[in-house]
């Protein structure tokens, strides 16, 4: 019987990407540009959160958005309608962004003229958690209709994020979502995580999130 060689490539891909991510973070720091990697399931409210967040920070910070989708321009068009520069990355089937893809988006922007860049990652709670984008911080959204058990099913995503935004709180009265249980499950994975409860429909809770982010960005720019 012929010997068949098995070569593990996943580790290499991830470690190459991790090294590139560290380099990109250093470039962003030098340019004084903060980058947020926003991750969530499809429909959790990533674009809606950006549409609430951009107007709140527009007076104080120079911003741009990199949108990523398997196909279509719809999200970038929604952002552009607010007057904020937006780039659409079409991943053509890839379910996450890696550093090389993010760099293509950044090449189309003038970093020196930007304080804050948001990446709307591909909608998915699995692959984006594995690939460092080079962002300054990772943020995720869990929306109430998705259920309070998601930290149990997608622990890596909940473990790596600096903040969790629980969106669609306007659905709470219609659902069996147990906020305390969800928080307990998340904190077991990630005791330091910041949790914001918002509704992008009513605007409830958006202030707390935008004030926290503004402070993070201004501390970074001043450092």
Q: Which residues bind Mg ion (CB under 5 A)?
A: 46-47, 75
Return d(Cα 72, Cα 55) in angstroms, integer. Answer: 24
- Which tokens go with 18? 């991790």
Half-sphere exposure of 138 (CA within 13 A, CB side): 21
Q: Decide: 196 and 53 in contact? Cβ < 8 Å.
A: no
Q: Which is nearer to ligand GDP, 24 or 40 (CB)?
A: 40
In the list 140, 193, 200, 217, the residue contacting ligand GDP (rule: CB under 6 A) is 200
Q: Is 133 in the site for ligand GDP (CB under 6 A)?
A: no
Q: Which is nearer to Mg ion, 20 or 102 (CB)?
A: 102
Q: Which is nearer to ligand GDP, 45 or 151 (CB)?
A: 45
Q: Which residues contact 73 (CB under 8 A, 6 or more apart)?
A: 88
Binding partner of residue 136 among Mg ion, ligand GDP, none, CB cut-off 5 to 8 Å per kind: none
In the list 53, 86, 190, 199, the residue contacting ligand GDP (rule: CB under 6 A) is 199
Label residue 132 left, alpha or beta by phi (over 0 means left) and psi (-120 to 50 means alpha).
beta
CA terminus-to-terminus distance, the chain: 62
Question: 39 to 98, contacts with ligand GDP by CB under 6 A?
Answer: 40, 42-48
CA 57 to chain centre: 17
In the list 61, 201, 214, 218, the residue contacting ligand GDP (rule: CB under 6 A) is 201
Minimal distance, residue 74 CB to ligand GDP, in Å? 8
Token pair 């962003």 is found at 28
Q: Which is nearer to Mg ion, 69 or 190 (CB)?
A: 69
Minimal distance, residue 10 CB to ligand GDP, in Å? 27
Minimal distance, residue 201 CB to ligand GDP, in Å? 3
3-state helix, strand, coil in the chain (%, to 5): 45, 20, 35
Binding partner of residue 170 among ligand GDP, Mg ion, none, CB cut-off 5 to 8 Å per kind: ligand GDP
Q: Decide: 38 and 53 in contact? Cβ < 8 Å.
A: no
Question: 165 to 184, contacts with ligand GDP by CB under 6 A?
Answer: 167-168, 170-171
∠165-194-32 over CA atoms, to 5°? 90
Number of residues that bind ligand GDP (CB under 6 A): 16
Minimal distance, residue 121 CB to ligand GDP, in Å? 10
């Amino acid at each position: 019987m012929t010997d068949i060689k098995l070569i593990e490539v996943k580790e290499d891909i991830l470690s190459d990407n991790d090294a590139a991510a560290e380099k990109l973070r250093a470039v962003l720091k030098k340019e004084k540009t903060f980058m947020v990697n926003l991750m969530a399931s499809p429909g959790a409210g990533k674009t809606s959160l950006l549409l609430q967040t951009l107007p709140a920070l527009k007076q104080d910070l120079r911003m741009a958005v990199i949108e990523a989708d398997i196909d279509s321009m719809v999200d970038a068009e929604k952002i552009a309608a607010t007057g904020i520069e937006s780039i659409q990355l079409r991943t053509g089937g890839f379910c996450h962004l890696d550093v090389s893809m993010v760099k293509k988006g950044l090449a189309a922007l003038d970093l020196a003229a930007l304080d804050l860049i948001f990446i709307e990652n591909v909608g998915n709670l699995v692959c984006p958690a594995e690939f460092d984008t080079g962002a300054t911080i990772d943020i995720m959204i869990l929306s109430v209709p998705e259920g309070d058990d998601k930290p149990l099913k997608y622990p890596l995503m909940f473990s790596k994020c600096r903040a969790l935004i629980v969106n669609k709180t306007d659905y709470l009265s219609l659902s069996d979502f147990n906020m305390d249980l969800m928080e307990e499950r998340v904190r077991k994975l990630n005791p330091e995580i910041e949790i914001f409860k918002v509704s992008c429909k009513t605007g409830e809770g958006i202030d707390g999130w935008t004030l926290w982010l503004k402070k993070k960005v201004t501390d970074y720019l001043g450092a």
